[in-house]
Amino acid sequence: MTSMPTPTRQDGETPESRLVAAKIALPSAPPTPIGAFANVREHRGLLYVSGQGPVLEDGSLMRGKVGGDVEAEVARQHAEIVALNILAALRGHCGSLDAVGGVVKLLGLVNATPEFDRHSFVIDGASNLLAAVFGPAGIHARSSFGVVSLPNNITVEVEAIFERA
C-alpha cells in the first residue's frame, strides 16, 4: 500500500471530503475476493479493480435475475452498493481516496433475463455514485451488458480502472 499526498483540486474538494459532504459511508473493509485474485492491482499509474458485486458489510449478497425476480430500479441500487465496495477496495489499497485521480473506465455486467434491455440504466447506479465522489474526474468511459449468470447468482458486477492522483 502506497500513499501519495493529496492533490490540489480545482474545486477545492477531494473525494474524501465529497464522501463526508454527501454522507456516504463506505464499508469498513472491501469484500474478500472469492477466487485467486486481488481486489486491486496497480500498474504504471493505473489502479485496476477486480469485479465487485453487491455484497453488504455483513456478507449478504444481493441475488437474482434482473428483468425477472429483480426490478431494474432495485438492481440500480445494487450497482450503488457495488460502487461503495469498489471505493472500499481503493481506499484499502491506497490508504485514502484522495490518492486516486479519477475514474477511467467501468465494465458493468447485469445478470439479466434475455429480454431485459436496461443494462445502462442499472449500471448508472455505480457511475452516478462515482461521479458524485470524484466530481468531474469521475466521468468515465463505460460498457454495460447483460449476461446469463454471475458468480453466486449476484445481480450486478462491476470492474473498474482508475488513475493515481
State the 10-residue block means of pLDDT for the chain, 165 residues long.
44 92 95 95 98 97 98 98 98 98 98 98 98 98 98 98 98
Q: Is 43 left (phi over 0), alpha (psi -120 to 50) or beta?
A: beta
Contact (Cβ atoms closer than 8 angstroms) between residue 156 and residue 109: yes
For the entire predicted model, the pTM comes to 0.93
Say whether domain 40-164 belongs to CATH 3.40.50.2000. no
Q: How far apart are CA 118 and CA 73, in angstroms?
A: 10
pLDDT of 45 = 98
